[in-house]
């Protein structure tokens, strides 16, 4: 893992946006396949990417995108659907074709069949070149709650009570919060060629420590990313506060800044 400990959200957004920009430029006219996360963690990076599109000409015109998850029962037009969120916070402000931004159908008549079909669509697109992730305070990524199989595929999942409580702030009534979601599995996510995960705040510190330095375990689903060969982790000082090797990660980044090594894909 490549660990970046940043001073604030703006620096973290620039680091994540740099990874996106490299992926887009490396793909060229072929077009990159992007995996997009929702929630608050990636929003600063999306804001920076919008700025680069508007002010520096960064183009997403040939890109495709797949969302990580969607609430079961919410139609695409619902204001709390992730289909709506990603457009409102990111894709409506760049030059990607809206039809190229694909999310699971939360209101599908057969959610189980929809999950399998979604996995197949990702494979048919050639797989994800770059997946952005956040992390929950209980270590979940996408909606892979603790106890999720490390090899799981896109499926219907029940949400943990802590996740439901975290998401309640987005709904008028607690009873309105969906309790199930369609989510890419841990196995699906790890098939992305590169992954960037971003987190901030002390409430994420325990999960980040297990992600980076803990044992690989279904108790902390994000720890399965240790099995992936190319993961960039971008965290602020608070989220990094439980990392025992934080000084080493800072030292490694300073060495890289002084003596950059070319990345071979």
- Contact (CB, 8 A) for 156 and 105: no
Which of the residues 114, 119, 145, 236 is marked catalytic?
Answer: 145
42 Cα distance to chain centroid:
7
Please report how the helices 9-27 and 43-56 are oriented relative to each other, as an axis angle in degrees rounded to 10. 60
Which of the residues 89, 138, 144, 167 is marked catalytic?
Answer: 138
Whether 138 is catalytic: yes
Which of the residues 4, 48, 69, 236 is marked catalytic?
Answer: 69
- Contact (CB, 8 A) for 222 and 135: yes
If you write DSSP's letter for every residue of 115-151 in order, what string do you get?
HHHHHHHHHHTT--SEEEE---TTS-BTTB-TT--TT
CA–CA distance, 215 with 219 (Å, rounded to integer) = 10
Which of the residues 4, 83, 84, 140 is marked catalytic?
Answer: 140
Put the strands of the sheet holding 64-67 in their side by side order.
Answer: 2-6, 231-236, 194-199, 130-133, 33-36, 64-67, 101-102
At which residue do the structure tokens 């952005």 appear? Answer: 132
Whether 144 is catalytic: no
Ramachandran area for residue 126 (φ above 0: left; ψ -120 to 50: alpha; else beta): left
Whether 167 is catalytic: no
At which residue do the structure tokens 């995996």 appear? Answer: 35
Find the angle CA(210)-CA(215)-CA(221) to the nearest 5 degrees.
60
Whether 69 is catalytic: yes
Could you give the C-alpha distances from 22 to 42, 50, 130, in angstroms and in order? 17, 15, 10
**What is the bridge-based pairing of β-strands 194-199 and 231-236?**
parallel
Q: Which residues are catalytic?
A: 69, 138, 140, 145
């Amino acid at each position: 893992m490549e660990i970046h400990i940043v001073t604030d959200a703006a620096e973290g957004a620039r680091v994540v946006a740099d990874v996106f920009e490299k992926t887009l430029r490396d793909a060229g006219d072929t077009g990159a396949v992007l995996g997009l996360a929702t929630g608050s963690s990636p929003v600063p990076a999306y804001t920076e990417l919008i700025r680069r599109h508007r002010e520096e000409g960064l183009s997403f015109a040939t890109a495709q995108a797949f969302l990580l998850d969607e609430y079961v029962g919410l139609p695409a037009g619902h204001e709390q659907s992730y289909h709506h969120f990603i457009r409102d916070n990111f894709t409506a402000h760049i030059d990607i074709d809206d039809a190229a931004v694909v999310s699971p159908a939360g209101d599908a008549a057969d959610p189980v069949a929809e999950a399998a079909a979604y996995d197949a669509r990702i494979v048919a697109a050639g797989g994800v070149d770059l997946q952005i992730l956040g992390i929950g305070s209980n270590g979940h990524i996408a909606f892979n709650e603790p106890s999720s199989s490390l090899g799981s595929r896109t499926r219907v999942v029940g949400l943990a009570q802590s996740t439901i409580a975290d998401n309640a702030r987005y709904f008028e009534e607690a009873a309105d919060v969906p309790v199930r979601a369609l989510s890419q599995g841990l196995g699906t996510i790890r098939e992305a060629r590169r992954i960037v995960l971003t987190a901030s705040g002390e409430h994420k510190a325990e999960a980040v420590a297990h992600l980076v330095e803990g044992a690989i375990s279904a108790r902390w689903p994000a720890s399965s990313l240790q099995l992936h060969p190319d993961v960039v982790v971008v965290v602020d000082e608070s989220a990094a506060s439980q990392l025992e090797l934080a000084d080493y990660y800072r030292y490694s980044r300073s060495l890289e800044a002084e003596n950059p090594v070319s990345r071979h894909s």
